[in-house]
Structure 1
């Protein structure tokens, strides 16, 4: 795939998670945003910000602090920039009975300690950043 050209690629869960967490850290995003399991590959193209994550199977994670069930597909892609992931694919958050895809994640700058999740359906949900800290 052309968008993966020139990317750094890490294989395996441990190396992949190291890269994913270092990207979250570098771009000022909450470190618990990607509670992944059984990662096969993580890649990042610095020139475009394109990131991809491949894991063995879909993972569902409940962010207890905000009572949100989030589904992470076996393949997640998006563009990472300072305080933001845009054109996100492969992440859905449960809303009542629906699972709208999350297309953008934006962390307020200057930090009001809020993170916003936008879906393609035009729904935006805002939560405290702490809800997505590592270990949540």
Structure 2
């Protein structure tokens, strides 16, 4: 069902592939370039990215994410939603990650800055 929904929305979506400069720019914006697994040291969280990551993008929010997992203890849980609490003014913004199991965790947004 989820893949059918993604295919329906893919028709009108911007799709970036290959070595195109715009594709590389988008990859850096969304993921750390050429990593399949990354540990965010400030929050001690390990995240795994599939070869294809899809999400519905809204201002301050990614929903129906596919292809991203986070490690909790010994389990890998799918991340299905990420959003920024915009009611808090910068630099104190918070980022909340929700998993498919209904668990969520909130962190300081600064922990996810490029180069961290």
Say yes or no: does 1:2 pair with 2:45.
no
Residue 114 (structure 1) aligns with: 94
Contact 2:55–2:64, Cα closer than 8 Å, also in 1: yes
- Normalised to the residue count of structure 2, the TM-score between the two structures is 0.80
Give how far 1:83 is off.
Answer: 0.6
Q: Match for 2:69 among 68, 92, 97?
A: 92
Say yes or no: does 1:74 pair with 2:80.
no
Count matched residues: 106
Contact 2:27–2:33, Cα closer than 8 Å, also in 1: no
Residues 13-68 of structure 1, C-alpha deviations (whole Å, 9 max, x = no match): 542131355xxxxxxxxx5x52131xxxxxxxxxxxxxxxxxxxx70001011111
| Correspondences of 1:1-136 after superposition (within 5 Å) | 1-13=7-19, 14-20=21-27, 34-37=31-34, 59-111=36-88, 112-136=92-116
Any unmatched runs of 5+ in structure 1? 22-30, 38-57
Q: Which has the larger radius of gyration?
A: 2
SS where residue 7 of structure 1 aligns?
A: coil
Give how far 1:90 is off.
Answer: 0.6
Could you list the structure 1 runs, at least 4 aligned residues long, displaced by more than 4 angstroms after superposition. Answer: none
- Taking only aligned residues, the RMSD between alpha carbons, in angstroms, comes to 1.9
